Amino acid sequence: MIHDLYDLSDYDTCPKKIDSDKLDKLEDLVDLCQDKGIKVIIDVHEIPGLVRWSGWKDFRLWEQGKTGEKFRNLLVETWKKLADTFEDYPDSTVIFELLNEAEPKENDWNAAETKNKGNLWNNLQTKLVSEIRKIDIVHTILSSPPYSWRINSIASSNWTPPKALLDDGKVMFAVHMYSPIDYTLQWAAWDNPKKALAYPGLFSDIGKQKVMWNAQRLRAAMDPIADFQKKYSGIPIVITEFSVMRILPGAAQYLSDLIDIFKELGLGWTYHAYKEADYLNQFSDCSDTMFELDYVPPRGRKALTNDPLDRLKAIVKGFKN
């Protein structure tokens, strides 16, 4: 994940150059992964004009006028530099993901997910792929629908991938799976139940009504993926993030059920463990809101499982299969 190739603290300027020291560190990391036989997805999380997780908000990338265009051009130049840096690495080592969870709207909370903004992201992806391919025709590129943090984004509003992506031959599509979020993200800043809720169990559906979530319901939640596969056969889909807080009852079963469904649908997947540490602690007083797979003795709530490594075992079994 790329958060800091630029100085994000200077809100008023649009930097012309990537910080070379930070780019060198990224290349050192990719070299280490290549030595260890680990495949790396390089994706842009934040750049000037799009800041969501660094303590303040900036959505100018999605403005329609000259300001937005300036920052979109910066993203294009960023990817040209990244393509130039990593073009000689084998495809087995590096994949390019254009932007993590693209949300083409002008603020984080109440902006409408409008069709025009979705088209803006489609147009930007087309330009990004075109410019990358002028430099690099080897590496796979991960594209995404607008609002790809939710699994049904790939079918919502009848999203149509740009023709340039469909015709490229080395483009895959990426979405995330956290449904139902009132299970997987319990005790995050926006969710504070009085007690831990277990999977299988009653959680919110798309319409906010409570329904029973189990393996069958998870499979139904993946129907947009299956429909997309029928419509655009032959283009791989990757679940680039899925996870669940480690202390929740039924967490290992939730992960196992999802991995079985991914296998059934022929999907690639990567498990999301953010820094192997206290993800979301910056937003919450809870010290157990973690995605990591290693056992860490709880400093707050009691781990609600008889086997503190059950989630790790579920993921390892998935890799073996």
Q: Do the domain assignments include residue 307? A: no
148: its two tokens: 């790809």
Q: Do the domain assignments include residue 97? A: yes
Low-confidence ranges of the chain (pLDDT < 50): 278-287
Residue 191's pLDDT is 57
Residue 142's pLDDT is 97
Residue 286's pLDDT is 45
Q: Do the domain assignments include residue 204? A: no
Residue 305's pLDDT is 66
Q: Do the domain assignments include residue 291? A: no
Q: Do the domain assignments include residue 44? A: yes
Q: Do the domain assignments include residue 171? A: yes
Structural domain including 114 reads: 20-177
Q: Do the domain assignments include residue 172? A: yes
Buried b / exposed e along 52-82 (16+ C-beta atoms within 10 A): eeeeeebbbbbbeeeebeebbebbbbbbbeb
The Cβ of residue 124 has, within 10 Å, a number of other Cβ atoms equal to: 23
Q: Do the domain assignments include residue 28? A: yes
Residue 90's pLDDT is 94
Residues 271-316 have pLDDT tens digits of: 998 655 544 444 444 445 567 777 665 555 555 666 778 888 999 9
Number of structural domains (the chain) is: 1
CATH number at residue 124: 3.20.20.80
Residues 75-119 have pLDDT tens digits of: 999 999 999 999 999 999 999 999 999 999 887 776 777 667 888
